[in-house]
């Protein structure tokens, strides 16, 4: 089930068949999953897949190149943070909306997504027709959340999102923490995020302070515990 929140003043979920199709960019590092999602959406008749992205490093340029109506993005990808890359991309494609589609709706992911005002947050546990309906609703001006996500959001609101240390980290620091937890060296991280090793070391030190960790091992364990990466 999905929860719809109307954002546009006169939003409607029914689209005129004469309108141009909803243009979607699918982002998922698992090619078989991405291809299955694209096949599912393409048969609807009112949705067009304009591109597929399997690597987070290509998200920005793909958004700018294709200027989709919606970026349908997974959050569990190796390399740099896909959500940050989406945010950078839509800065140059301001009509594009970010919609999360993930198998891991952790509190950490939800808090970050809500913080940057994504247009929707759905899980891969939903039936296919539910995801399609959600995309149509988002294109029509609604925000859409899976029930599981909405329940977590409500719980987090009651606890003020647990004053999560994640919210204290900048988007770049979050990316660095994820890469540290994936076992990358400072040099490898620097190459991945196009920053100098000294800058990366400074950001790691800042993350230590903000999370209360004293070394990379503790930081990696914290990142896993908070759902930033999988164990």
Instruction: Look at residue 122 in the predicted model and tell me its pLDDT.
Output: 93
Digit-coded pLDDT (tens) for 44-73: 999 999 999 999 999 999 999 999 999 999
Q: How confident is the model at residue 164 (pLDDT cuts 50, 70, 90)?
A: low
Specify whether the CB–CB gap between 144 and 134 falls below 8 A.
Answer: yes
Q: What's the mean per-residue pLDDT of the chain? A: 85
Cα separation, 30 vs 11, whole angstroms: 33
The Cα diameter of the chain in Å comes to 59
Q: What residues does 47 pair with on adjacent strands? A: 22
Digit-coded pLDDT (tens) for 169-207: 776 788 889 899 999 999 999 998 888 999 999 999 999
Specify whether the CB–CB gap between 107 and 81 falls below 8 A.
Answer: no
Instruction: Look at residue 132 in the predicted model and tell me its pLDDT.
Output: 92
* pTM reported for the whole predicted model: 0.69
Specify whether the CB–CB gap between 208 and 214 falls below 8 A.
Answer: yes
In the chain the domains, ranked by start, together with CATH numbers, are 2-158 (3.40.50.2300), 164-225 (1.10.10.10)
């Amino acid at each position: 089930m999905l929860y719809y929140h109307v954002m546009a003043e006169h939003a409607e979920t029914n689209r005129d068949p004469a309108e141009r199709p909803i243009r979607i960019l699918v982002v998922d590092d698992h090619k078989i999953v991405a291809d299955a999602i694209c096949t599912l959406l393409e048969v609807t008749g009112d949705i067009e897949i304009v591109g597929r992205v399997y690597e987070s490093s290509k998200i920005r340029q793909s958004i700018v190149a294709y200027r989709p109506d919606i970026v349908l993005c997974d959050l569990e990808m190796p390399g740099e943070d896909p959500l940050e890359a989406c945010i950078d991309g839509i800065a140059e494609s301001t009509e594009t909306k970010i919609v999360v589609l993930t198998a891991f709706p952790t509190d950490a992911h939800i808090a970050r997504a809500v913080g940057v005002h994504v247009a929707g947050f759905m899980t891969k546990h939903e039936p296919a027709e539910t995801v399609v309906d959600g995309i149509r609703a988002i294109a029509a001006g609604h925000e859409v959340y899976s029930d599981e996500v909405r329940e977590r959001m409500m719980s987090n609101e009651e606890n003020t999102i647990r004053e999560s240390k994640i919210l204290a980290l900048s988007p770049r620091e979050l990316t660095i923490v994820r890469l540290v937890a994936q076992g990358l060296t400072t040099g490898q991280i620097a190459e991945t995020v196009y920053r100098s090793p000294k800058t990366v070391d400074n950001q790691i030190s800042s993350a230590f302070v903000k999370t209360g960790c004293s070394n990379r091992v503790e930081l990696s364990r914290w990142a896993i515990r908070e759902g930033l990466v999988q164990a």
